[in-house]
Amino acid sequence: MTSPPFRRYLDKPYPLVSGEIRKSMVRAMSDYQMIEEGDRVLAAVSGGKDSTAMLIHMKEIERRANVSFTVDALLIDQKQPWFDPAPFISWMTARGFTVKIIEDPIFDVALKKTRPGKSLCRLCSRLRRGALYTYAEKYGYSKIALGHHRDDINETLLLNLFFAGRLAAMPPKLFSDNGKHVVIRPMCYVEEKKIISFKNALGIPVVTCDSCSAREKGKREEMKILLKNLEDQYPGLQATLFKSLQQVRTSQLMDRELFDFHSILPRY
């Protein structure tokens, strides 16, 4: 069944930024061939602004696309004591969206396996991803869509550069570690500020993990602040940083596995 026209989802006038978000997503999906005929896409929804914006726009793209594919939303309730998705689910349901909820005691498991004072985010993320993969395999989904945006990718690049000693970020499309699932990031071209504008325009009642991450905001938050300060000083810096990921010159780096430096011999 085709999803209803986008305007029927809205209580307020159509936000102009929505068109910009959708066009960026369509371009990314085309550039990296994220969607193919007959795909069943599982959209991972957390209740946050990013995955919500992704779902809303993917449903509109599903309606308009020349290829036939479907998008279903899944929210994993990790059983954090403060997490209440009811207002969010109610808001989405009233606008014609179906969000499937499954419960998984991820928070309790992460709490037991993480040393006191350390952030739970990394382990929670890994366990949540495992639950997504299990659900996708059980119900026959061909793609899993995550709501990471351009700024997330830039932050990951800096985290890897500064703290892991490697040149890496988040690919727009990848195979899962076990090779069974294709993961896509349709919002990889979208700036976070546009998602914030969209969320504010619609008044989406997002629910987040702030109570958990407040214990230790961590290095990602530091990278977010660093990039914001740099963007304020050098407008357009985030766009240039992101562009660098699309223009890699392996011969101008130092990875011997990517470039055959031994074949370069002196000329006498």
Measure the CA–CA gap between 249 and 259, rounded to whole angstroms.
10
Report the candidate in 236, 119, 248 with the shortest Cα–Cα distance to residue 171. Answer: 248
What HEC string does 10-44 produce? CCCCCCHHHHHHHHHHHHHHHHCCCCCCCCEEEEE
The per-residue pLDDT for 6 is 44
Specify the 3-state DSSP secondary structure of 76. strand
Q: Extract the tokens encoding 144.
A: 């899993």
CA angle 179, 180, 182 (to 5 degrees): 85
CB under 8 Å to 158, separation ≥6 — which residues?
Answer: 223, 226, 227
Architecture of the domain whose range is 6-244 = 3-Layer(aba) Sandwich (3.40)
Token pair of 42, please? 């599982």
User: What are 104-161's pLDDT values in tens digits?
Assistant: 888 878 778 877 777 777 788 888 888 899 999 999 999 999 999 999 999 999 999 9
Q: Which residue has the tokens 């690919």?
A: 171
**How far is the first Cα of the chain from the last one, in angstroms, to the nearest whole number?**
70
Higher pLDDT, 78 or 216: 78
Do the beta carbons of residue 191 and residue 150 sit within 8 Å?
yes
- Residue 166 has what DSSP assignment? S
Residue 199, token pair as written in the block = 């969320």
> Residue ranges of the domains in the chain?
6-244
SS3 of residue 71 by DSSP: strand
Query: Average per-residue pLDDT in the chain?
Result: 88
Average pLDDT over every residue of 228-256 = 95
* Residue 48 and residue 208 in contact, taking contact as beta carbons nearer than 8 Å: yes
pLDDT digits (tens, 9 = 90+) for 201-213: 999 998 876 545 4
